[in-house]
Amino acid sequence: MVLCPECDAEIDVDEGDVDEGDSLSCDECGADLKVVSVSPLELGSVDDEEDEEDEDAFGEDDDDEDEDDEEDEAWK
């Protein structure tokens, strides 16, 4: 038994039936979930992971632009 990270509803999942990275959905709120860990069993929201990936991608681009600006200023 594990709790949905979105609505805290109990989800009946056996640790032996899932692997890390498997996708599930909550019957109560319909959230798309991913198995983050199997021992102990931990679920994460797929939407949260996508948001983090988007932030990482945007953050890397911003850092690269800052470095380019610093290099331009050094040559002036």
In whole angstroms, what is the distance from residue 23 CA to residue 46 CA?
8
Q: What CATH number is given to the structural domain containing 51?
A: 2.20.28.160
pTM confidence score:
0.61
pLDDT at site 34: 97
pLDDT band, residue 73 (cuts 50/70/90): low
Q: What is the mean pLDDT of the chain?
A: 80
Contact criterion met (CB below 8 Å) for 6 and 47: no
| Cβ neighbours of residue 37 closer than 8 Å, sequence gap 6 or more | 20
CA dist list (Å): 41 to 14, 15, 16, 24 = 9, 6, 10, 13
Domain of residue 34, residue span: 2-75
Helices (H), the chain: 46-75
For 40-57, write each residue's pLDDT tens digit: 999 999 876 555 655 666
How many structural domains does the chain have? 1
